Amino acid sequence: MTHCGLDAHQECPRLDEIRQERRRRDAILEANADPVRMSKLREKIIAQAKRYFGVPYARKYWQPNSEYS
C-alpha cells in the first residue's frame, strides 16, 4: 500500500490533480512571458489609471455639486 491507500501499481488521484495544476500554472507563466501581450496589458492599466487623475481621494475633499458627489 502507498500513502494514498492504493496498491503500488495504482496511481494516486491526487497526483493527477497536481499534474493538471502544474500544467495550468506553466501555461499562465508562458502567456505572461509574452512581451507583446504584457505591453498591451501595461497600456490598458496606464489608460485606466489616467482616468483617475484629478479625482479627490476621499469624499471629504469633494466639492458640493461636483460630478463625484
Q: How many CA atoms lie within 13 A of 30 on its CB side?
A: 6
CA atoms within 13 A of residue 65's CA, in its CB half-sphere: 0
Domain membership flag for residue 64: no
Copy the grid coordinates of residue 24: 495550468
Domain count of the fold of the chain:
1
Domain region containing 48: 13-52
Whole-structure pTM value: 0.46
- The identity of residue 2, as a single letter, is T
| Residue 69 included in any domain | no
Residue 45: inside a domain: yes
Which has the closest alpha carbon to 54: 37, 45, 66, 36? 66
pLDDT one-digit tens code per residue, 11-41 = 788 888 999 999 999 998 887 788 898 899 9
Using 50, 70 and 90 to split pLDDT, how confident is the model at 7?
Answer: low
Instruction: Return the amino acid letter for 66.
Output: S
Q: Is residue 32 part of a domain?
A: yes
Which of the pair, 47 or 29, is modelled with greater confidence? 47
For residue 42, the model assigns a pLDDT of: 94
